[in-house]
Amino acid sequence: MRRNVLVAGGAGYIGSHVCKALAAAGHHPITFDSLVHGHAWAVKWGPLVKGDIADTALLKRVLRRHDVRAVVHLAAYAYVGESMRDPGKYFSNNVAGTISLLNAMVAAGTPCLVLSSTCATYGLPEVLPIDESHPQRPVNPYGESKLCVERALQWYEGAHGLRSVALRYFNAAGADREGDIGEDHDPETHLIPLAIQAVLGLRKELQVLGTAYATPDGTAIRDFTHVTDLAAAHVAALDYLAAGNRGVMLNLGTGRGHSVREVIREVERVAGRRVPSRDAPPRPGDPPVLVAASERAARLLGWQPRQSDLATLVETAWRWHLGRRGARALRSAA
C-alpha cells in the first residue's frame, strides 16, 4: 500500500538512503530538512520542504497538506564530542525538537513514527554482544538525548496512540551501490570516509584513536552496518507499524565487529594505496568493543543485513568518494 511518508532529516546521509528505499518500495517520501547538515542535491525521490523540526506549526501544515500517514525521524545532531562541549544544543534539537514533531503528529492525526536512535543510549557495554535488554546508561549528552526521546515515545503511545519503532544503529557505513548518494559530512568523523580522504590527499592523515585496547590488535572494534541495509530496516519498520503492532525498540547491527586496523587494511586493498596514519590517544569514554545483537529485528521485521560485509562497505564508499570528488585528488596525490 502506497503511503506518503515524511522523512525528517531526509537530506542527510542515512535519510537520503531511506528516501530512496521508500520510493523503491512504492511509497512517496517528503523530505523535511533544515539543510544545516543535509544537502539539497541528495533529495531525489520526492519534494523537499526546508524547515526546522522546532517549527510545530509548519510541521502540522506539511503533515496535513501531504496527508502524511507516517514519519521517519532522522533530524538530530549526532556528534558525540560536540555534545560534550555544548549539551544545550543537543537537548534543544534532539529532545525539544522531537517533542515539537510529536505534537505536530498528534495534532495532524499522523499515527506512526520510525525513530533513528543509537547504541549510544547503552553507554559502556557490560556484556557483548549488546541486546535490547542491556542497561541504558549513556555517557554523553548525545546518547542521553536519544534515550530521552525513546522514553517520550512510550508515553506518547500511551496518551495518544502514536506508535513507534526506535532503531538503535551501531555504525552506519558504505554508500548507495548506484552512486546516487553517499556520505558527505562536515566535519567528517566516521572511520571509513576519514581513511578514504587520507588516501585521496584530502586530509594529511588518519588518526588512529587508541592503540592499547584489550583487543587483538589494540584498536577499537565496531559493528559496521551498510547504510542501504539500515534504510531497508526503516521500510520494514513502517510495514510493522502499518500492520497495527505496538511500539518497540530494536538494535540494528551485524553481530560482528571489525577493528580500526582491519578497516584500514581493507581501504588500502580497495584503493591500492597506503592510508597515511598516526597513532593518537583514545577518546574519553570510547569502549574497546561495540557489537550488536539484532535477533529481535530479524524476528519482528524480518530484517537481515545483506550488504554489510567489510569489502562491500569499503568498496561502495570508495566508489562514491572517488566519483564525487576524489579522482582529481588522486591524480594530484600521485
Q: CB of 118 within 8 A of CB of 132?
A: no
Task: State the Cα–Cα distance between residues 200 and 328, nearest whole angstrom.
Answer: 9
Query: Is the predicted pLDDT of residue 104 greater than 50, yes or no?
Result: yes
**Cα(first)–Cα(last) distance of the chain, in Å?**
52
Residues 154-172 have pLDDT tens digits of 999 999 999 999 999 999 9
Q: Check 13, 90, 122, 142 and give the catalytic one.
A: 142
Q: Is 79 a catalytic residue?
A: no
Q: How confident is the model at residue 329 (pLDDT cuts 50, 70, 90)?
A: low
Classify the phi-psi angles of 210: left when phi > 0, otherwise alpha if psi is within -120 to 50, otherwise beta. Answer: left
Q: From the CA atom positions of the chain, what is the Rg in Å?
A: 19
What is the predicted pLDDT for the residue at 324?
80
How confident is the model over 189-224, as pLDDT tens digits? 999 999 999 999 999 999 999 999 999 999 999 999
pLDDT higher than threshold 50 for residue 316: yes
Please determine, for residue 62, whether its predicted confidence score (pLDDT) is greater than 50: yes
Q: What is the pLDDT of residue 286?
A: 84
Average pLDDT of the residues in 284-301? 94
Q: What is the pTM of this model?
A: 0.95
Report the alpha-carbon distance of residue 60 to residue 276 in Å, rounded. Answer: 49
Residue 333 reports pLDDT greater than 80: no
Report the mean per-residue pLDDT for the chain: 95
Q: How confident is the model at residue 185 (pLDDT cuts 50, 70, 90)?
A: confident
Per-residue model confidence as pLDDT tens digits over 12-38: 999 999 999 999 999 999 999 999 999
Cell 568498496 sits on residue: 315
3-class SS string, the chain: CCCEEEEECCCCHHHHHHHHHHHHCCCEEEEEECCCCCCHHHCCCCCEEECCCCCHHHHHHHHHHCCCCEEEECCCCCCHHHHHHCHHHHHHHHHHHHHHHHHHHHHHCCCEEEEEEEHHHCCCCCCCCECCCCCCCCCCHHHHHHHHHHHHHHHHHHHHCCEEEEEEECEEECCCCCCCCCCCCCCCCCHHHHHHHHHCCCCCCEEEECCCCCCCCCCCEECEEEHHHHHHHHHHHHHHHHCCCCCEEEEECCCCCEEHHHHHHHHHHHHCCCCCEEEECCCCCCCCEECECCHHHHHHHCCCCCCCCHHHHHHHHHHHHHHHHHHHHHHHHC
